Amino acid sequence: DVKVTQSSRYLVKRTGEKVFLECVQDMDHENMFWYRQDPGLGLRLIYFSYDVKMKEKGDIPEGYSVSREKKERFSLILESASTNQTSMYLCASSVTGGPTYEQYFGPGTRLTVT
Amino acid sequence: ELKVEQNPLFLSMQEGKNYTIYCNYSTTSDRLYWYRQDPGKSLESLFVLLSNGAVKQEGRLMASLDTKARLSTLHITAAVHDLSATYFCAVVLSNTGNQFYFGTGTSLTVIP
């Protein structure tokens, strides 16, 4: 089974802190994604990566950066956390191509910024 | 910009009843996914629909795709409490490969 893990289930940080969210997948997937989930807004893509050291902006990249130094690991960085970044963050991974490729999701990190 | 709209956003239904969740999207897509999310949990894949007229069924859930109407439906038959969850549809644009666009989700509560 594909396994996507995230470093924390719950995180509380103060405004202005630098925050790292880590995601690891064990299926050698090329693609990795970071989403945030807010009530009534569904999932919105922050950044994605289709290869090591490659990254692409999603729909809402402002205030975030990412790092992918190894194929299995994709980190989301909040350079200076703000209260409007309080949200559920979901990481996902997928292969490239194939007839029924899908995204596999991690358990999520609920981040609260106070 | 691709828009994916689901309705209803909230659905409360009695056990044993039937209902349909709708997913509309604004531009051509070559595949559509349905996911389920239980409270406090992550998303779990339910169905992948790859072509016009595709129909998939699992238990009391049946999903269909009409690419000409840019519409997918998730039909619930004789609902049971265990189906209470949030359901998301997602589409992939033909020219973006792996980027998924998610709907807003439908929160389903099945009442005994």
Within an 8 Å CB–CB cutoff, is residue B95 touching chain A?
Answer: no
Q: What is the CATH number of the domain that holds B12?
A: 2.60.40.10
Give the residue from chain A lying closest to B31, CA to CA: A100
Shortest CA distance to A83 belongs to which of A63, A66, A107?
Answer: A63
What's the domain range around B20?
4-111
Ramachandran class of B40: left when φ > 0, alpha when ψ lies in -120 to 50, beta otherwise = left
pLDDT at residue B96, rounded to an integer: 61
DSSP 3-state of B83: helix
Alpha carbon distances (Å) from B71 to A26, B3, B7: 34, 12, 11
Whether residue B1 has pLDDT greater than 80: no
Domains annotated on chain A, with CATH: 4-93 (2.60.40.10)
Give the residue from chain A lying closest to B43, CA to CA: A105
Q: What is the DSSP letter of A5?
A: E
pLDDT at residue B29, rounded to an integer: 80
pLDDT at residue A71, rounded to an integer: 96
Note the pLDDT tens digit of each residue in B11-65: 999 999 999 999 999 988 878 999 999 988 889 999 999 888 899 999 999 999 9
Q: What average pLDDT is seen over chain B?
A: 91
- C-alpha–C-alpha distance, residues A44 and A34, integer Å: 9
Number of domains in chain B: 1
